[in-house]
Amino acid sequence: MKTKKTITTIFLQIITIAFFLLTLFPFFIVVINSAKASLEIITDPIAFPTHWGQIFTNIKTIWSSPSIRYASSVYASVLITVLSLISIAVFSAMAAWVLVRTKTRTSTFVFLLFICGLIIPFQVVMFPLVALFRIINETIGISMLRTYHGMIFAYIGFGSPLAVFMFHGFIKSIPAELEEAALIDGCSKPQIFFRIIMPILKPIFVTICILNAIWIWNDFLLPSLVLGVGQEIQTIPLAIRAFAGSFVKKWDLIMTAVLMAAFPIVVGFIAGQKHIIKGMVAGSIK
């Protein structure tokens, strides 16, 4: 039995390593090709680069290109991602807290509406979303297309269902007696939430922020619909697309730009990996 168990363990470890290498292979291709010239990539895409210093030349070309405006796209991506994450995390936590503590049919119905947001595919509502933004612009006079606040508003709407669902499961595990004791001591509802509930929600906050950061930072479809391709406001994925023309594709700059865009997300994920696992487990208790 012991020998059979050892063989099974070794077999599972081999499969795990194989899947790890398979997952790591695209990142490996990006890294080695970011240090090559375009002709070298086309000639042999899986070979190691001749001169690793080429990566610095590619980075300089990307940052200095007036047609791409990579620096402004980094600014746009950072601004949209940070404001969207803060809004999704804070507003979703407040909504989930109210839905958990207010046990009525209305709160149950509202929570089910949030769950429906997880079921409906984005592709079904993406064109009605653009049409709705145009109606808002025509009727109210608030421009939601080609603007920062339009992108942030869209991300709040699409990111809140999952966040509310995870916060809802986490808050259920928090004893209501903590809030009752704070209420007796004279705390108001906002003070109870921001001073007692929010510090307890730290693991799930980090989980929500990192999961949504990966999605928002790498998203191409929603920015292409709301911001448009080739417009003044461009996120990093839209800027990288400019390197791929109809007839010529600058693979060296594409690979380098992808590596530059992936670096902050990879670092953030590694730094918050412990909180992600803890938050996912804690949010699925009830």
In a domain, 3, yes or no: no
Structural domain total, the chain: 1
- pLDDT of 285 strictly over 60: no
Q: How confident is the model at residue 251 (pLDDT cuts 50, 70, 90)?
A: confident
Query: Percentage of the chain with pLDDT > 90?
Result: 26
CA angle 149, 153, 159 (to 5 degrees): 140
Q: How confident is the model at residue 62 (pLDDT cuts 50, 70, 90)?
A: confident
For residue 89 the two structure tokens come to 């995390």
- Judged by phi (left if over 0) then psi (alpha if -120 to 50, else beta), residue 121 lies in beta
* Average pLDDT taken over every residue of the chain: 86
* pLDDT (mean) for 241-254: 76
For residue 78 the two structure tokens come to 């950072």
- pLDDT of 266 strictly over 70: yes
Q: How confident is the model at residue 286 (pLDDT cuts 50, 70, 90)?
A: very low
CB atoms within 10 A of CB 126: 17
In a domain, 242, yes or no: yes
pLDDT digits (tens, 9 = 90+) for 166-222: 899 888 888 888 888 888 888 888 888 988 888 888 888 888 988 899 999 999 999
In a domain, 10, yes or no: no
In a domain, 225, yes or no: yes
pLDDT digits (tens, 9 = 90+) for 5-24: 788 888 888 999 999 889 88
Using the CB atoms, write b or e for 179-192: b if 16+ within 10 Å.
beebeeeebeeeeb
Contact (CB, 8 A) for 274 and 73: no
Query: Percentage of the chain with pLDDT > 70?
Result: 92
What whole-number distance in Å separates Cα of residue 273 and Cα of residue 271? 6
Contact (CB, 8 A) for 76 and 234: yes
DSSP 247: S
What whole-number distance in Å separates Cα of residue 77 and Cα of residue 9? 44
For residue 15 the two structure tokens come to 């499969």
pLDDT at 219: 92
Q: How confident is the model at residue 282 (pLDDT cuts 50, 70, 90)?
A: low
For residue 166 the two structure tokens come to 């995870």
In a domain, 125, yes or no: yes
Beta bridge partners of 249: 244
Q: Which long-range contacts (CB under 8 A, 24 or more apart) does 99-108 make?
A: 99/164, 99/168, 100/168, 100/171, 100/172, 101/176, 101/179
What are the C-alpha distances in Å from 91 to residues 88, 97, 198, 282? Answer: 6, 10, 12, 20
What whole-number distance in Å separates Cα of residue 143 and Cα of residue 284? 39
DSSP 98-114: HHHH--SHHHHHHHHHH
What whole-number distance in Å separates Cα of residue 286 and Cα of residue 164? 14
In a domain, 198, yes or no: yes
Phi, psi dihedral angles at 249 (to 5 degrees): -120, 120
DSSP 60-89: HHHHH-TTT-HHHHHHHHHHHHHHHHHHHH
DSSP 196: I
Q: How confident is the model at residue 245 (pLDDT cuts 50, 70, 90)?
A: low
| Domain, as residue range, for 151 | 55-282
DSSP 197: I
In a domain, 131, yes or no: yes
CATH number for the domain spanning 137: value is 1.10.3720.10
pLDDT at 57: 87
* pLDDT (mean) for 110-116: 91
What whole-number distance in Å separates Cα of residue 79 and Cα of residue 148? 8
The answer to whether the predicted template modeling score (pTM) of the entire model surpasses 0.75 is yes
pLDDT digits (tens, 9 = 90+) for 34-43: 888 888 888 8
In a domain, 18, yes or no: no
